[in-house]
């Protein structure tokens, strides 16, 4: 299993009259297979998730994935960390379903024919084999999210970071995406407002106002979050 290490990490962003702190003094060593991040809107969850593949940089402190520093080994870290966004359309770039998966595979499989065969196998695995030649825009939101996840997994990452991956999906598609993410062998760092889903993970971080205020087993952490959010 992969290891994500955050050591005294603070993230800031510039404002018109100085800077704002988005995340403050976060330290955690994450080795569990499924780690969930919960917290109120605007508390800093996405900022925490984005640190792990360098989409957001730390102002101070270090972020490491399997010992590699995101600040100095960015490309090597990004090869290990796949990212699933809330909006799947954000990461579907090719015209057809098959081409999109094949593009994800371009660094891993050099031979074009072999790449196409692998892409077809990936599509069969997620149940989209019959949509291979369809436009990515003709897929439903749920199918697009499954395709985005397939593209990420095809690159064989050791960590998958998913930022509210089921927020836009109906119950059935949300379930399909959840099961795919929870059952995969890769380490999952999941941001979600779905507390039932959070309870199925192995460890939970609660973020409040840019700080990790609870780091515990999910039952206890979710209880802490509910108590704090509703009090
Ligand atoms: N680049 C930026 N510049 C200024 N403020 C920012 C920037 N990025 C994020 N913020 C602010 O930092 C806070 C934390 O944002 P973040 O997206 O991490 O929250 P979140 O917990 O993921 O929220 P949500 O549940 O609504 O997605 C928010 O108040 C947001 O407006």
ipTM of the complex: 0.95
Question: 141 or 190: whose pLDDT is higher?
Answer: 190
Strand pairing class (18-30; 81-84): unpaired
Does the pLDDT value for residue 92 go beyond 90?
no
DSSP assignment letter at 86: S
Q: Residue of the nearest CA to atom 6 in ligand 1? A: 13
Q: What is the CATH number of the domain that holds 127?
A: 3.40.50.300
Q: Is 192 in the pocket of ligand 1 (CB under 6 A)?
A: no
pLDDT score of 67 more than 90: yes
Mutate which of 47, 161, 192 for ligand 1? The one with the most ligand atoms within 8 Å of its CB, which is 47
pTM of the model: 0.93
Instruction: Give the pLDDT band of residue 39 (cuts 50, 70, 90).
Output: very high
Cα 116 to ligand 1 centre (Å): 39
Average pLDDT in the 91-110 region?
Answer: 88
- Number of domains the chain is built from: 1
- CA distance linking residue 201 with residue 198, whole number of Å: 6
Domain that holds residue 125: 4-230
How much of the chain, in percent, has pLDDT values that exceed 90? 77
- The yes-or-no verdict on residue 54 having pLDDT over 90 is yes
The pLDDT of residue 125 is: 85
Task: Give the C-alpha separation, 8 to 117, whole Å.
Answer: 45
Q: What is the mean pLDDT of the chain?
A: 94
Question: Buried (b) or exposed (e) across 113-146, using 16+ Cβ within 10 A?
Answer: eebbebbbebbeebebeebbeeebeebeebbbbb
């Amino acid at each position: 299993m992969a290891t994500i290490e955050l050591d005294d990490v603070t993230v800031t962003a510039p404002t018109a009259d100085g800077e704002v702190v988005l995340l403050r003094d976060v330290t955690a060593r994450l080795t569990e297979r499924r780690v969930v991040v919960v917290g109120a809107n605007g508390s800093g969850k996405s900022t925490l998730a984005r640190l792990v593949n360098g989409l957001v940089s730390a102002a101070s402190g270090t972020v490491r994935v399997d010992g590699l520093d995101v600040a100095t080994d960015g490309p090597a870290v990004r090869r290990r960390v796949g990212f699933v966004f809330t909006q799947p359309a954000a990461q579907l770039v090719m015209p057809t379903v098959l081409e999109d998966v094949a593009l994800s595979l371009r660094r891993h499989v050099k031979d074009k024919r072999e790449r196409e065969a692998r892409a077809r196998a990936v599509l069969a695995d997620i149940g989209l084999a019959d949509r291979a030649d369809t436009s990515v825009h003709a897929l439903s939101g749920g199918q697009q999210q499954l395709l985005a996840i397939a593209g990420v997994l095809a690159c064989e990452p050791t960590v998958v970071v998913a930022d509210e991956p089921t927020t836009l999906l109906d119950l059935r598609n949300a379930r399909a995406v959840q099961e795919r993410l929870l059952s995969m062998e890769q380490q999952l760092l999941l941001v979600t407002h779905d507390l039932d889903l959070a309870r199925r993970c192995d460890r939970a971080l609660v973020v409040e106002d840019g700080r990790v205020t609870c780091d515990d087993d999910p039952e206890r952490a979710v209880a802490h979050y509910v108590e704090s959010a509703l009090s």
